[in-house]
Chain A
Amino acid sequence: MPAPEREAIEVAQDSALVEALRAGDERAFLDLVGRLHGGLVRFALGFVRTQTAAEDVVQDAWAAVLQGIDRFEGRSTLRSWILGIVANLARTRAVGDRRSVPLSALQPDDERAVEASEFLPDTHSRWAGHWARWPEPWPDQCLLSRETMQQVREAIDRLPQGQRAVIQLRDVEGCTAEEVCEALGLSEVNQRVLLHRARSRVRKEIARHFQGSKP
């Protein structure tokens, strides 16, 4: 389903949920908490240092959500609104913990998706700019092994803050690009550049992992 339609459906479902929350429907609230809480903590961990700090941030965020729910206008999805609250609180907390990262860290850099050394040099007479050696296909069954999944998790966690936030929301949590732009205050282009850098870096690490584990 195209993203705009998916988002439209989500916004429509949200409005029923928001009504239920406003009316004090405890089950609706607990469902929402059950659905989002774990992911929110994981997301907050990209900004603050410890699990405890992340838990605190998310609990504060829930309190802010409940305070603000009567004013929620449904211009974004409920999830991206909540993610935005978590991001703001986590960043504020990180400033207090001196783990603040200037906003410029969210700006794109000029890193390459694949190291230049993987390609034939400009001086090559026929194939300049083409792969010097083909990337090795990844074995499907190993990709889903616990070890590889752990590698991917750690690779994501090691990314610079902006890249980590974007890939975590897009690829792990399955948010739309629009939701991520909304939650993190990014332009479409910046969101995509951060996603590109993040995916490329994680790919490098998986490739290294498979190369290293070869007999």
Chain B
Amino acid sequence: MSRALPEDLDCVVAVEQVTDYIEGAMPLQARTRFEQHLCYCPACMIYLRQIKAQIGVSALLAEHKPPPEEVTRKLLQLFRASRRG
């Protein structure tokens, strides 16, 4: 006798699990069920891709420019003073 597959997830539930899935915070069984759902459901696959793409775009927003020169100068003074004290 073969074991029945677990019942497919509803999309409305699946979208609430996307973050847990990406974060690797799901117990194995729930994860398997979620991945199974993705196999059946192109719409949720699109949704997951959108969230992942958005995370990629967000990372490009990081600002790595150094502070203005006068701030740097002030901070350096602070640093020197703190090391003297």
Residues of A within 8 A of B (CB): 24, 26, 29-30, 33-35, 37-39, 41-42, 55, 59, 62-63, 66-67, 69, 112-114, 116, 119, 128-131, 134-138, 140, 143-144, 148-149, 152-153, 156, 167, 171-174, 177, 188, 192, 195-196, 199-200, 202-203, 206-207
Contacts and interface: CB of A to CB of B under 8 A. Distances in A.
Interface of B: 10-13, 15-16, 18-20, 23, 25, 41-44, 46-47, 49-51, 53-55, 57-67, 71-72, 74-76, 78-80, 82-83
Given A112-B16, A129-B12, A174-B62, A24 B75 contact: no
8 contacts: A38-B65, A113-B15, A129-B12, A131-B44, A144-B57, A152-B58, A192-B19, A199-B54
Q: DSSP majority for the B interface?
A: helix
A171 B78 CA distance: 31
Given A30-B72, A149-B60, A207-B50, 6 more contacts: A26-B80, A55-B71, A119-B12, A152-B58, A196-B20, A199-B19
Nearest to B61: A172
